[in-house]
């Protein structure tokens, strides 16, 4: 993929992604509540979207803010978010996070990456999602889909999601930063699969370098 193709690629992704359901964290962000984005993202790690959607809904029915959630017993949160992956660890992190927000931030979710990274279980992916989707501030969230597809297209040549993030910060036009994650996650969940992607159905086929693609459909 040529760097100059990025505008056309983004436009195609926008059109294609309208056919599919948006990621759960994006759906949650419509409420403009950074706390819900934070908690939903913590639940979503290594968990399918449909499981995250149901788990987050059950938990937010029990508590909608850090003060309420901090009062819940860890076992109650575990039951609410099960069968999310690593649900016991996530429940402990959620309680610890809520307590830290109350003790050090007056219950407010930080809007800076470095501050968010101090919270239990929060990595750069989660921090960037909170900053971009929770606060609408510039940032690039890179998860496994964004890392894989950016490299598959040939837009970046990186070994880790963190390196992908910093390369994208240098070359991806700022106007695409916030939506880039949503587009590639949706695209990756529905068409550009990790193994045997649906290349025969892909409108990006002509410009995609198909790096690492051994088998496709």
Enumerate the active-site residues.
Answer: 125, 143
Q: How many other CB atoms are found less than 10 A from the CB of residue 137?
A: 15
128 and 29 in contact (C-beta within 8 Å)?
no
Q: Is the dihedral of CA 169, 174, 179, 183 positive or negative?
A: negative
Q: How many other CB atoms are found less than 10 A from the CB of residue 198?
A: 13
144 vs 126: CA distance, rounded Å? 13
How many Cα neighbours within 13 Å face the side chain of 30?
7
Nearest Cα residue to 145 out of 203, 187, 202, 103: 187
Which residue intervals of 18-118 are DSSP H helices?
24-29, 34-44, 49-62, 66-70, 74-81, 87-105, 113-116
Which residue intervals of 130-160 are DSSP H helices?
135, 144-153
168 vs 23: CA distance, rounded Å? 21
Phi, psi of 212 (to 5 degrees): 80, 0
How many residues can be counted in the chain?
A: 217
């Amino acid at each position: 993929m040529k760097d100059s193709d990025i505008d056309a690629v983004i436009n195609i992704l926008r059109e294609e992604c309208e056919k599919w359901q948006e990621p759960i964290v994006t759906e949650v962000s419509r409420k403009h509540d950074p706390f819900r984005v934070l908690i939903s993202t913590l639940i979503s790690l290594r968990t399918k979207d449909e499981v995250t959607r149901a788990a987050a809904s059950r938990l937010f029915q029990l508590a909608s803010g850090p003060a309420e959630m901090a009062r819940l017993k860890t076992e109650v949160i575990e039951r609410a978010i099960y069968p999310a992956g690593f649900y016991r660890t996530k429940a402990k992190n959620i309680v610890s996070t809520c307590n830290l927000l109350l003790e050090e931030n007056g219950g407010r979710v930080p809007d800076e990456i470095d501050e968010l990274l101090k919270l239990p279980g929060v990595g750069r992916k989660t921090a960037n999602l909170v900053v971009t989707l929770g606060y609408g501030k510039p940032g690039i969230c890179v998860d496994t889909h964004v890392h894989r597809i950016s490299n598959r297209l040939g837009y970046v040549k990186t070994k880790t999601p963190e390196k992908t993030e910093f390369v994208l910060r240098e070359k991806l036009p700022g106007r695409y930063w916030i939506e880039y994650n949503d587009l590639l996650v949706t695209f990756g969940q529905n068409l550009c699969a990790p193994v045997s992607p649906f290349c025969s159905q892909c409108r990006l086929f002509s410009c995609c370098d198909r790096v690492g693609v051994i088998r496709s459909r």
